[in-house]
Amino acid sequence: MAENKPIHTKVMKKTVLLLAFCATLGAWAQRGGITPQMLSDMKAQHPTTASDRAMRNALAKNAINDLALAADNPASTETFFSNEVASKGISNQKSSGRCWLFTSLNVMRARMIQKYGLGSFQFSQSYNFFYDQLEKSNLFLQAVIDNGGDEMDSQQNRWLFEHPLSDGGTFCGAQQIITKYGLVPAEVMPESYSANNTRTMNMILTLKLRQYGLELRRMVAEKAASTTLQARKTEMLGTVYHILTICLGTPPERFTWTRRTADGKAVETKEYTPQSFYEEYVGKDLVGDYVFLMNDPTRPYYKTYSIKYDRHSYDGADWTYLNLPMEDIEPCAIASIKDSTMMYMSCDVGKCYDAKSGVLSLDNFNYADLFGTDFPMDKADRIRTFASASSHAMTLMAVDLDAAGQPLKWKVENSWGPDSGVEGHLVMTRDWFREYFFRLVVEKKYVPSKLLELARQKPVELPSWDPLFEDE
């Protein structure tokens, strides 16, 4: 039989337990944790309604965007454009991050098609991607040498080893690679599986580069001569080159190509080098003829900025841009389209995108009604809180203007294949464009002289890890 304890002992025990429980609650509250009272308050704020139960049942079997889609959004059906640059043949980057390269080449091929009356034509993305990966590998290894005297856990070295290589990039990278190595037609160096599916090749190269980076740091610490460091780096790059040839093929040094009309009639057959092909069929000064414009409301407008190591080759220039309000950027884009000239642009393509219609519109999805709360952050707040950044490059090719010459909507040539969007294109409403557009590369002749003068300012250098550019 259990021993009977005095009443006062039981009371004291309960009191101690209660005090301990209260102390625990106090500790939770003091540390900012969720207390039982807070949970009770949360539940009381939104009593479950019949509408909530119906919505929960619907979401159990359907995607959020399917239920939030605004079926009566007029932007999803209007495809007329008052000004449009002709284009032939939609490209497909498949499972790779090469949108920057496809977009840059699409800008150049559009002019070539117009000038020579070609049918559907594409440059070889794989050819330029090969040298992009080789140049980026050298950029990483040389940057490791340059920063070898700093601690491994310095912010710059941490960023370098976190980002030794990627398949992403910007137009300045295309400038550097194409100017240095030229261009070839797609059939001269076709796409391989690893070109279309870059993940595993990137993993292998990244692992190798990190290994090499540690070795170079040890050599710097041991005071190795510069000539010794450069010789060892060249050996390392020889291995990178070998891996790239296995994955992508060997870039041609000379080739024969027949130019044909749109109906397939042969016009001329010649032998080219990649450089001579570029000079004959593109011939643009990719560095001197263009200006980079940006819309970043978190920083002062009418200032130039550059991002450290935001380039593709060690001997190239960092991405340097003039930050402008949309009111100054849009007229430049309109002038270019009216003159039948496509442009490189980038945006946050995943926001408010209806894949079924191919339309990007702020009115595509009504999350506010679905969840009973609003989402009021503007573009600057989204950038500051990592909610939005430039994520995808496309070719700006059309604009629909109202009677006053103001844009109603825009159209881009995308690189997701002909079955995506509007036959391979995406349509952007004016309001969406202003909220989620970031970069535009435009020929200088379409930019007012006062803005070109501002673009010549000494740029403010931003760090490699700036959040707006971290994922590119």
Q: How far apart are CA 323 and CA 375, in angstroms?
A: 26
Any domain includes 77: no
Distance CA(419)–CA(441), nearest Å, equals 27
Residue 50 lies in a domain: no
The range of the structural domain enclosing residue 87 comes to 83-462
Q: What is the Cα–Cα distance from 70 to 213, expressed in whole angstroms?
A: 51
Q: Where are the beta strands (DSSP E) in 142-273?
A: 255-260, 266-272
Q: Tens of pLDDT along the chain (472 residues)? A: 444 445 555 555 555 555 555 555 555 556 889 999 999 999 999 999 998 998 899 999 999 999 899 887 876 667 899 999 998 889 999 999 999 999 999 999 999 999 999 998 999 999 999 999 999 999 999 999 999 999 999 999 999 999 999 999 999 999 999 999 999 999 999 999 999 999 999 999 999 999 999 999 999 999 999 999 999 999 999 999 999 999 999 999 999 999 999 999 999 999 999 999 999 999 989 999 999 999 999 999 999 999 999 999 999 999 999 999 999 999 999 999 999 999 999 999 999 999 999 999 999 999 999 999 999 999 999 999 999 999 999 999 999 999 999 999 999 999 999 999 999 999 999 999 999 999 999 999 999 999 999 999 999 999 999 878 765 5
The distance of Cα 353 from the centroid of its chain, to the nearest Å, equals: 16
CA 395 to chain centre: 13
70 in a structural domain: no
Q: How far apart are CA 442 and CA 396, in angstroms?
A: 10
For residue 219, is it within any domain?
A: yes
Contact indicator for 407, 330 with CB cutoff of 8 Å? yes
**Cα–Cα separations (whole angstroms), residue 47 to 35, 155, 296:** 19, 48, 41
Residue 48 lies in a domain: no
How far is the C-alpha of 271 from the C-alpha of 253, rounded, in Å? 11
What residues are labeled active site? 99, 392, 414
382 sits in which H/E element: helix 379-384
CATH number for the domain spanning 279: value is 3.90.70.10
**Within a domain: 72:** no
Q: Is residue 230 part of a domain?
A: yes
Q: Per the domain annotation, does 471 fall within a domain? A: no
Q: By the 8 A CB rule, do 323 and 299 touch?
A: yes
Q: How far apart are the two ends of the chain, measured CA to CA in Å? A: 75
Quote the number of domains for the chain. 1
pTM: 0.90
